[in-house]
Structure 1
Amino acid sequence: MKDLLNKIRTEIETFNTDATAQVESGNKAAGTRARKASLNLEKLLKEFRKASVEASKK
């Protein structure tokens, strides 16, 4: 679960960096990277939810 949390943190940092670059300087490529990171985050958060539910059942 710690590994999953580290992946989520990394993806959030990537998203923040790219989304900020898109908003502040109009960087279209950064916008594409931010959207990709948001999709990856969605998958990781679903994995976290499953792991969290399993851990709470123990």
Structure 2
Amino acid sequence: MHHRFQQLQEFVNSLEDDFRKFYEKGVMSAGTRLRKKMQELRKLAQEIRVEIQQIKQEKKGAKKTESAGE
């Protein structure tokens, strides 16, 4: 499995405690931490999206090069 997926899973799993504290116990400071972590999740997701697009472009470019060389 790709390390990015594992990184994403671990990050999401790290949110569980603060989700419980905020939603089940009403701990406001947990809500603040969650908001910050959700922003980090958004940043991580964007990094992964950019990486995916770069890989797709590289593979697309490689196919064009192979086709031109034939």
TM-score, length basis structure 1: 0.78
Q: Take 2:13 and 2:32, find their aligned partners in 1: how far apart are those partners? A: 15
Q: Give the structure 2 partner of residue 25 of structure 1.
A: 25
Deviation at 1:5, TM superposition (A): 3.1
The alignment of Structure 1 onto Structure 2 pairs a total of residues equal to 57
| 2:28 matches 1:15 | no
Deviation at 1:10, TM superposition (A): 2.4
Deviation at 1:22, TM superposition (A): 0.4
Q: Which structure shows the bigger proportion of residues in helix conformation? A: 1
Q: Give the structure 1 partner of residue 37 of structure 2.
A: 37
CA RMSD of aligned residues (A): 1.6
Q: Give the structure 1 partner of residue 51 of structure 2.
A: 51
Deviation at 1:48, TM superposition (A): 0.2
Q: Give the 4+ runs in structure 1 shifted more than 6 A.
A: none
Structure 1, unaligned stretches of length 5 or more?
none
Choose 1 or 2 for highest CA Rg: 2
